[in-house]
Amino acid sequence: MRSIVTGGAGFIGSHLVDYLVSAGDDVIVIDSLISGDLNSIQDHLDSKRITLVSADLLSDLWQEHLFGADRVYHLAADPDVRESSVSPDKQLNNTIIATHRVLEAMRKASVPEIVFTSTSTVYGEASIIPTPESYTPMEPVSVYGASKLACEALISAYCHSFSMRSWIFRFANIIGARSGHGVITDFIRKLKANPHELEILGDGKQTKSYLEVRECIRAIMFVVHHTQDPVNTYNIGSEDWISVTEIADLLCQEMGLSPKYRYTGGSRGWVGDVPKMQLDISRLKSLGFIPEISSRESVRIAVKSALE
């Protein structure tokens, strides 16, 4: 296949590129390299197994590369949930407007399929946990979550209006090698600055589901290969959860440190944070896919990767 990957030099995107290259796809990566890391895909560039188009989706000229493509994997977005409460315009432009431009480029180039990475934050503070895909009302508590939900609606409309097919994946917290943000990165940065004390945002009781990135990619591709509806929406996550304090314990154990924990207080770590999150993955399991690792094991793998 000829596959387009927006945000292909990013954390999840680069792992997806690894998978697609190994599957023999002709891969074109479109990435502004503002938050993406060229080193993540450099080996593929050196071997000429992929093509890199260095472009911002809010600019032009990248659209011509979609002609002849079979599928777009749209991962480019601003991944910082906390930042969305400070600079909402940035989130709206880089997520909603960028997604609309991708869909328009697909329509004009007659690209029939799109894979979109959404988020568990579209559910807001769900009253049903684990939360199924059918949960309502969808009331995001962050601009990030609202932006992703708006993109889901746009994709659905384009699929039904222009005979496209889509796969929408609502992620738990995806972690692992090449991640440049999140609680693990934050903790490591703080402990390197002061190994005797660790600031933990909120009360440390925030409890969420985590999944290692390669297992996430395996789930994505499994669903894509086993579903054919016009719009296919699936949760991806593990079947358990872990608290922020437990993550700190695991990290400190790996680093050989015993710092004093200092909590900032409150049930949320930041504006827009959801204190408890676990996704119902029954729909994913009904296809025959069962995650092979837990939240705790995912965190342990991600910690080791980050320290390396």
**For the chain, what percent of residues have pLDDT higher than 90?**
91
pLDDT digits (tens, 9 = 90+) for 1-31: 999 999 999 999 999 999 999 999 999 999 9
**What pLDDT, on the 0 to 100 scale, is given for residue 88?**
86
- The reply to whether 157 and 251 lie within a common domain is no
**CATH code (residue 54):** 3.40.50.720
Hunting for tokens 């328009």 — which residue is that?
104
Euclidean distance between the first and the last CA atom of the chain, given in angstroms as a whole number: 34
Beta bridge partner(s), residue 276: 207
Render pLDDT for 55-79 as a digit per residue (tens, 0 to 9): 999 999 999 999 999 999 999 987 7
pLDDT tens sequence across 173-192: 999 999 988 999 999 999 99
Interatomic CA distance for residues 103 and 157, integer angstroms: 10
What is the C-alpha to C-alpha distance for residues 282 and 292, in angstroms, rounded to an integer?
A: 15
State both tokens at 289.
């896919």
Position 129 in a domain:
yes
HSE, CB side, 13 Å, CA atoms: give it for residue 274: 27
Both 88 and 105 in one domain: the answer is yes
Residue 15's nearest CA partner among 238, 233, 211, 283 is 211
Using an 8 Å Cβ cutoff, are 132 and 235 in contact? yes
Residue 35 counted as domain residue: yes
Residue 287 lies in a domain: no
Q: What is the mean pLDDT of residues 167-173?
A: 97
Percent of all residues in the chain with a pLDDT value above 70, rounded to a whole number: 98
Chain centroid offset of residue 195 CA: 30
pLDDT at 79: 72
pLDDT at 270: 83
Question: 216 and 87 share a domain?
Answer: yes
Q: Are residues 268 and 138 part of one domain?
A: no
The pLDDT of residue 84 is above 80: no
pLDDT at 80 over 80: no
* Dihedral over Cα of 21, 17, 111, 114: its sign: positive
> CB neighbours (10 Å) of residue 283?
18
Helices in 127-243 by DSSP H: which ranges? 143-162, 183-193, 213-226
pLDDT at 238: 96
> What is the residue range of 72's domain?
2-174+211-236
User: Is residue 218 assigned to a domain?
Assistant: yes
Round to whole Å and give the CA distance between 242 and 261: 17
- The per-type count for the chain, helices as H runs and strands as E runs, is 10, 14
Residues 157 and 181 in one domain: no
Looking at the structure, tell me whether residues 110 and 183 fall in a common domain: no
- The residue assigned the tokens 């769900």 is 126
| Number of structural domains in the chain | 2
Q: Which residues pair with 71 in a beta bridge?
A: 3, 113
Q: Is the peptide bond before 195 cis (omega within 30 degrees of 0)?
A: no
Same domain, 204 and 222: no
Judge if 253 and 113 occupy the same domain.
no
Residue 70 lies in a domain: yes
Q: Are residues 140 and 187 in the same domain?
A: no
Sheet holding 71-74, edge to edge: 50-54, 26-31, 2-6, 71-74, 113-119, 165-171, 231-236
pTM of the predicted structure, to 2 decimals: 0.95
Are both 130 and 143 inside the same structural domain?
A: yes
Residue 284 within any structural domain of the chain: no
If asked whether residues 167 and 225 sit together in one domain, one would say: yes
pLDDT at 181: 84
Q: What is the CATH number of the domain that holds 302?
A: 3.90.25.10
- Rounded Cα gap, residues 10 and 28, in angstroms: 14
Q: Is the residue at 23 inside a domain?
A: yes
- Give the per-residue pLDDT at 271: 84
232/262 same-domain check: no
In a domain, 285, yes or no: no
Cβ atoms of 199 and 262 closer than 8 Å: yes
